[in-house]
């Protein structure tokens, strides 16, 4: 380290001043266009080509349709039919879960997939309704409007909520506010989804036990209460039937899990159980009239519903709220799913573009009797395993569903609800991802805490409470990071000019008479007084240590600013305060490696003048060398390096 002692040091430069508007523009550009989506278009010279690229950007179908071939078609048809066989029973079940007419589940698997096939950029996503959003609709809407007493209003509000959700999703995409979805951290989603799945399963007890009346609230306490309060109403027939199908479904799922090649077994099993259940009741309903059935499903494809959207009723705000919340959750799931499959197949997905696709598909959906749809994981996984090549598989599914709607709906008359319940439960169980939770605990306690609070919030409170909790705790973490940055003492790694945290590198050696502190975060109003106190404490402790050792006392405090990304006015006045405070104690403040932003502000605020330009160094090594040098020129007795024993 002594090598540097006599040589001269490198200047820390003050970055060239930038006009305010220019820097603002750069910042916004960085924030909103991080992935620079229009590069290809910009780089293109010919206008015609520009337009073509633009169109392809908006409608990815133009991208993949050109390279399309027969072999693709084969695999897309197969996977399309496979997901259709899953979509039909699932759609009906989730519509039931949302307290909406079952037929809506089928409608929602017709129009939105077609829209997505044109606008979506994922090749593996299979579009459809999701359990959580369905339950959320039922829970939030059911509180205000009774689905049984006032089905019409309930239905129309569901459409309106879907419309608002789509509108918001489109806007987020157009304004490139994709990061709004980021507010839901991975940990939060794990906890939230797990909680929602638990709640959904609890709801299914109604179907399994063949109960007619059930609580509107979703928390575990009131659900269990309402179940055991009417134990005399339990119907053993539906219970037994349900358990049989549950066992069947879980077994098939288990098999497919063990043997991914046999994915189609679990993919087909819901349809199979619907058929079996229906046949069973068709022949024996006389004996089992206690088992509830779907009943009449009217024929024909989606009727238009654009005229049913309500923007005047007192409930419009409610619809807006539901749309917002369900919309964001749907986005979070859909985009996550799209991303993860894109990872497997090595292609990229533009979150903002996806949002627009989802948004359009919900807006047009709300015009054609559909409720909220997104890219559910279960269905997309099946689609992927079935070997889909492009979004065409969604079209195939839509066609299959259309055929069903036109000709086959009467067949569902005798389908027992309890089968649907067991289908839902099977789908939900895989969402309770306790392994992920354990992983979180091992890796990051705070993330586990986020996950747990989300889960408990959903299960014991409401879905909204769970959502608010998870977001709140996650954001608290960010604020806490900035509010309480780490400060640690640095030591020199022998025979190098490298300085590191002495707790991380215990062999690093510290010099008596100078203390090197590394600030591990920005200096903002929220942490400046904390930093002042904490640095003061470091100094006290160091001086005590030296005093007990009877060594010469502290002379220089080197602040390593390498990790100080930014500083605000409160931060600067803190530094000035600190400088004064050190002056009082005959300590000299030295600053190492301030970044561009920090250096700019320090110079603007004349802090540099006040401590002197010669107190600012480019690296810790140079700062230390300089202090060391001054110490020696100051007086003969040199501070001997001593291995730290903190």
Sites for a second copy among residues 142-171 (CB under 8 A) = none
Q: How far is the CB of 516 from a second copy (least distance, A)?
A: 15
Contact between 619 and a second copy by CB under 8 A: the answer reads: yes
Which one of 110-118, 146-154, 295-303, 481-489 is the stretch in contact with a second copy (CB under 8 A)? 481-489
327 touches 169 (CB < 8 A): yes
Runs of H (alpha helix) within 11-108: 20-32, 39-43, 47-58, 60-66, 70-97, 103-107
Q: How far is the CB of 79 from a second copy (least distance, A)?
A: 24
As a whole number of angstroms, the distance between CA 450 and CA 391 comes to 35
Kind and range of the H or E element at 293? none
452 touches 436 (CB < 8 A): no
Binding track over 95-134 against a second copy, x by CB under 8 A: ----------------------------------------
Kind and range of the H or E element at 515? strand 514-520
Looking at residue 297, the DSSP 8-state letter turns out to be -
- In the region spanning residues 19 to 48, those forming contacts with a second copy, defined by CB under 8 A, are 20, 24, 30-31, 34-36, 39, 43
Characterize the bridge pairing of strands 499-501 and 486-492.
antiparallel
As a whole number of angstroms, the distance between CA 106 and CA 227 comes to 30
Binds a second copy by CB under 8 A, chosen from 445, 547, 549, 613? 445
Contact between 540 and a second copy by CB under 8 A: the answer reads: yes
The upper half-sphere exposure of residue 445, i.e. CA atoms within 13 Å in the direction of its Cβ, equals: 0
When the beta carbons of 131 and 523 are compared against a second copy, the nearer one is 523
Distances (CA, A) of 569 to 480, 484, 526: 20, 18, 11
Q: How far is the CB of 418 from a second copy (least distance, A)?
A: 39
Q: How far is the CB of 213 from a second copy (least distance, A)?
A: 37
Looking at residue 408, the DSSP 8-state letter turns out to be I
Binds a second copy by CB under 8 A, chosen from 5, 10, 25, 143? 10
Contact between 475 and a second copy by CB under 8 A: the answer reads: yes
Contact between 474 and a second copy by CB under 8 A: the answer reads: yes
Contact between 543 and a second copy by CB under 8 A: the answer reads: no
As a whole number of angstroms, the distance between CA 414 and CA 284 comes to 10
Contact between 442 and a second copy by CB under 8 A: the answer reads: yes
Binds a second copy by CB under 8 A, chosen from 215, 217, 230, 605? 605
Q: Two tokens at 91? A: 């759609």
Contact between 534 and a second copy by CB under 8 A: the answer reads: yes
408 touches 302 (CB < 8 A): no
Binds a second copy by CB under 8 A, chosen from 444, 464, 543, 551? 444
Contact between 520 and a second copy by CB under 8 A: the answer reads: yes
Looking at residue 509, the DSSP 8-state letter turns out to be E
Contact between 521 and a second copy by CB under 8 A: the answer reads: yes
CB atoms within 10 A of CB 567: 25
When the beta carbons of 39 and 143 are compared against a second copy, the nearer one is 39
As a whole number of angstroms, the distance between CA 14 and CA 604 comes to 10
Binding track over 349-378 against a second copy, x by CB under 8 A: --x---------------------------
Looking at residue 205, the DSSP 8-state letter turns out to be H
Q: How far is the CB of 449 from a second copy (least distance, A)?
A: 11
- In the region spanning residues 564 to 603, those forming contacts with a second copy, defined by CB under 8 A, are 565-566, 568-570, 572-573, 577, 580, 584, 595-597, 599, 601
Report the DSSP beta bridge partners of residue 571: none
When the beta carbons of 214 and 525 are compared against a second copy, the nearer one is 525
Angle in degrees, CA 45, 357, 68, rounded to 5: 65
Binds a second copy by CB under 8 A, chosen from 143, 257, 299, 537? 537
End-to-end Cα, the chain, rounded Å: 22
When the beta carbons of 185 and 409 are compared against a second copy, the nearer one is 185
């Amino acid at each position: 380290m002594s090598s540097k002692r006599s040589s001269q040091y490198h200047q820390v430069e003050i970055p060239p001043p930038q006009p305010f508007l220019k820097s603002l523009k750069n910042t916004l550009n960085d924030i909103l266009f991080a992935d620079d989506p229009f590069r290809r278009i910009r780089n293109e010279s010919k206008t015609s080509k520009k337009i073509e690229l633009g169109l392809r950007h908006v409608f990815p179908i133009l991208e993949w349709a050109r390279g399309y071939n027969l072999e693709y078609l084969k695999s897309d048809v197969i996977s399309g039919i496979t997901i259709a066989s899953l979509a039909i029973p699932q759609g009906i079940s989730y519509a039931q879960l949302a307290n909406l007419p079952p037929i809506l589940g089928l409608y929602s698997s017709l129009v939105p997939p077609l829209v997505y096939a044109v606008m979506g950029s994922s090749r593996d996503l299979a579009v459809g309704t999701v359990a959580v959003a369905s339950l959320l609709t039922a829970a939030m809407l059911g509180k205000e409007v009774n689905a049984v007493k006032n089905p019409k209003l309930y239905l129309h509000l569901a459409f309106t909520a879907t419309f608002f959700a789509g509108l918001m999703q489109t806007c987020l995409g157009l304004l490139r506010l994709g990061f709004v979805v980021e507010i839901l951290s991975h940990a939060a989603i794990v906890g939230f989804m797990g909680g929602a799945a638990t709640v959904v399963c609890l709801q299914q007890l109604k179907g399994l036990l063949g109960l007619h009346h059930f609580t509107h609230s979703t928390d575990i306490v009131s659900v269990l209460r309402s179940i055991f309060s009417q134990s005399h109403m339990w119907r053993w027939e539906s219970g037994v039937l349900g358990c049989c199908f549950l066992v069947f479904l879980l077994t098939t799922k288990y098999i497919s899990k063990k043997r991914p090649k046999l994915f189609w077994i679990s993919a087909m099993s819901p349809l199979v159980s619907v058929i079996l259940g229906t046949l069973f009741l068709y022949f024996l309903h006389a004996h089992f009239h206690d088992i509830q059935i779907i009943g009449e499903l009217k024929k024909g494809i989606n009727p238009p519903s654009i005229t049913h959207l309500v923007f005047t009723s007192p409930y419009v705000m409610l619809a807006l709220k539901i749309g917002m919340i369900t919309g964001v959750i749907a986005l979070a799931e859909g985009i996550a799913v799209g991303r993860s499959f894109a990872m497997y197949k090595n292609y990229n997905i533009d979150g903002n573009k996806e949002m627009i696709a989802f948004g359009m598909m919900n807006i047009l959906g709300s015009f054609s009797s559909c409720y909220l749809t997104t890219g559910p994981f279960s269905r997309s996984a099946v689609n992927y395993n079935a070997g889909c090549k492009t979004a065409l598989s969604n079209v195939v599914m839509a066609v299959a569903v259309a055929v069903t709607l036109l000709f086959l709906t009467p067949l569902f008359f005798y389908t027992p609800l309890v089968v649907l319940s067991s289908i839902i439960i099977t789908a939900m169980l895989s969402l309770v991802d306790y392994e992920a939770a354990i992983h979180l605990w091992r890796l990051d306690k705070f993330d586990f805490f986020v996950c747990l609070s989300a889960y408990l919030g959903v299960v014991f409170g409401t879905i909204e409470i769970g959502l608010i909790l998870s977001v709140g705790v996650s954001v608290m973490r960010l604020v806490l990071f900035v509010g309480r940055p780490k400060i640690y003492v640095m030591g020199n790694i022998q025979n190098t000019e490298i300085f590191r945290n002495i707790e991380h590198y215990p062999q690093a050696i510290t010099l008596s008479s100078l203390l090197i502190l590394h600030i591990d975060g920005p200096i903002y109003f929220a942490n400046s007084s904390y930093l002042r106190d904490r640095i003061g404490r470091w100094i006290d402790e160091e001086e005590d240590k030296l005093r007990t050792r009877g060594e010469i006392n502290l002379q220089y405090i080197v602040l390593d600013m390498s990790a100080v990304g930014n500083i605000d006015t409160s931060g600067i006045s803190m530094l000035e305060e600190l400088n004064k405070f050190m002056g009082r104690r005959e300590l000299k403040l030295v600053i190492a490696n301030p970044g561009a932003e920090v250096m700019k502000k320090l110079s603007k605020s004349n802090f540099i003048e006040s401590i002197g330009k010669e107190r600012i160094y480019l690296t810790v090594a140079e700062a230390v060398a300089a202090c060391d040098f001054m110490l020696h020129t100051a007086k003969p007795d040199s501070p001997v390096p001593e291995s730290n024993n903190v």
